[in-house]
């Protein structure tokens, strides 16, 4: 069973056509258009896109905060438009830029929000310890918390009841590098326990680090949906080779290699981009007078920017 499955999920805001009478000025805002994705149970799924691309709209549709204009969404096997509160009892949610009850202490907040669930907050102590929230921190009113502390409390409230599906919107925002590392370890543990994590982020390095698959949306439309590995494998690597001596024949052979682009040869230094499989390159370099070879791995950031450079779908 997929943890999340959508089919043509669409959300437009604005006045209905009969009301605006064809005026372009009041044309609807297409927040999400025809989104069809499947998030497999037990995976960490990254949902990427810049501000205003429709990430939060999709998340809000999954949680039933807003209603689709068209299409359907099933979460944990239930139709979100009819499932209601019971479904949300199986989900943990961290909103982006979370707002909390400032007058409560950390402990009071976690007790309050946790009390709505049938499941006890089994993971609270472990999460609090991993995220370095001391008893003193939890005893202070939330109004005194820094942004990072608020985010940590937000993560604990989302995961403390061991939800089957965690929906996290920009979860590492405000966390320092140490806490980010602790958070990634928590995500790995969620996955190892068979739980699903759906997570939106701007931080492409963290998505690359923790996610199994990613969906990239642009202007409300899905532009890519595949595993991080597959996405990277199809992207350009930057290759730089330094030779013991100039080798014009090798340079010519490299320039003619399929997938090579932006080839530059300067004295004993060769630099080029490489798309696709790396094996033919390595075969060609076998026995060459190499002093040094650097193959920079493809980065999700490049893939992301490349998809955003393409003309709009």
Q: Tell me which stretch binds other proteins (CB under 8 A): 116-124, 177-185, 214-222, 272-280.
A: 116-124
295 to 89, 193, 239: CA distances (angstroms): 47, 35, 5
Given 80, 91, 215, 243, the residue binding other proteins (CB under 8 A): 91
User: Does residue 95 belong to the site contacting other proteins (CB under 8 A)?
Assistant: yes
Closest to other proteins by CB, 85 vs 249, is 85
- Smaller CB distance to other proteins: residue 12 or 238? 12
71 binds other proteins (CB under 8 A): no
Toward other proteins, which CB reaches closer, 26 or 112?
112
Residue 1 is classified by DSSP as: -
Of 130, 101, 126, the residue nearest 113 (C-alpha)? 101
With respect to other proteins, which residue has the nearer C-beta, 157 or 250?
A: 157
> What is the distance of C-alpha 140 from the center of its chain?
32
Of 36, 70, 69, 32, which Cα lies nearest the Cα of 52? 32
Tokens of 83: 């499932």
Query: 8, 65, 77, 292: which one contacts other proteins (CB under 8 A)?
Result: 65
- Residue 178 neighbours by CB under 8 Å, 6+ apart: 132
Give the Cα-Cα-Cα angle 136, 142, 147 (nearest 5 degrees). Answer: 100
| CB contact set of 87 (below 8 Å; sequence gap of 6+) | 64, 75, 76, 78, 80
| Residue 115 contacts other proteins per CB under 8 A | yes
User: Taking the complex as a whole, how short is the minimal distance between the CB of residue 114 and other proteins, in angstroms?
Assistant: 9
Give me the torsion for CA of 137, 142, 147, 152, rounded to 10°. Answer: 60
How far is the C-alpha of 61 from the C-alpha of 67, rounded, in Å?
6
203 contributes a contact to other proteins by CB under 8 A? no
Q: Of 11 and 235, which has the nearer Cβ to other proteins?
A: 11
Q: By CB under 8 A, is residue 117 in contact with other proteins?
A: yes
Q: Residue from 38, 100, 224, 255 that binds other proteins (CB under 8 A)?
A: 100
Q: Cβ of residue 60: shortest distance to other proteins, in angstroms?
A: 7
**23, 103, 134, 294: which one binds other proteins (CB under 8 A):** 103
Site for other proteins in 20-59 (CB under 8 A): 56-57
The single-letter DSSP state of residue 35 is E
Comparing CA positions, the residue from 215, 3, 195, 200 lying closest to residue 95 is 200
Establish if 101 lies at the interface with other proteins (CB under 8 A): yes
Taking residue 283's Cβ as centre, other Cβ atoms within 10 Å add up to: 10
Is the Cβ of residue 93 or residue 272 nearer to other proteins in the bound state? Answer: 93
Ramachandran bin of 211, using left for φ above 0, alpha for ψ from -120 to 50, beta for the remaining angles: beta
Q: Of residues 15, 17, 27, 112, which one binds other proteins by CB under 8 A? A: 112
Q: From the CB of 79, what's the least distance to other proteins, in Å?
A: 15
Which residues would be at the binding site for other proteins (CB under 8 A)? Answer: 13, 56-57, 60, 63, 65-67, 84-89, 91, 93, 95, 97-101, 103, 112-113, 115-118, 157
């Amino acid at each position: 069973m997929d943890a999340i499955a959508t089919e043509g999920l669409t959300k437009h805001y604005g006045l209905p056509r009969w009301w605006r009478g064809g005026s372009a000025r009041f044309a609807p805002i297409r927040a999400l258009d025809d989104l069809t994705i499947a998030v497999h149970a037990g995976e960490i799924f990254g949902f990427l896109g810049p501000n205003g691309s429709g990430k939060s709209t999709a998340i809000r549709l999954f949680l039933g905060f807003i209603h689709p204009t068209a299409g359907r969404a099933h979460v944990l096997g239930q139709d979100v438009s009819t499932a209601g509160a019971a479904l949300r009892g199986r989900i943990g949610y961290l909103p982006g830029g979370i707002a909390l009850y400032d007058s409560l202490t950390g402990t009071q907040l976690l007790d309050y929000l946790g009390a709505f669930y049938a499941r006890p907050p089994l993971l609270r102590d472990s999460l609090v310890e991993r995220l370095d929230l001391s008893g003193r921190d939890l005893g202070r009113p939330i109004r005194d918390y820094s942004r990072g502390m608020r985010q940590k409390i937000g993560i604990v409230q989302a995961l403390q009841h061991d939800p089957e599906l965690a929906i996290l919107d920009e979860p590492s925002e405000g966390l320092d590098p140490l806490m980010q590392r602790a958070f990634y370890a928590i995500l790995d543990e969620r996955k190892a326990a068979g739980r699903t994590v759906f997570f939106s982020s701007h931080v492409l390095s963290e998505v690359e680090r923790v996610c199994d698959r990613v969906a990239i949306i642009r202007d409300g439309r899905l532009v890519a949906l595949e595993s991080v590995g597959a996405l990277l494998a199809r992207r350009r690597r930057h290759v730089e080779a330094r030779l013991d001596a100039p080798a014009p024949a090798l340079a010519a052979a490299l320039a003619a290699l399929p997938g090579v682009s932006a080839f530059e040869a300067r004295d004993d230094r060769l630099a080029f981009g490489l798309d696709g499989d790396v094996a033919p390159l390595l075969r060609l370099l076998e026995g060459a007078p190499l002093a040094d070879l650097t193959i920079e791995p493809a980065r999700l950031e490049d893939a992301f920017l490349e998809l955003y450079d393409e003309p709009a779908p």
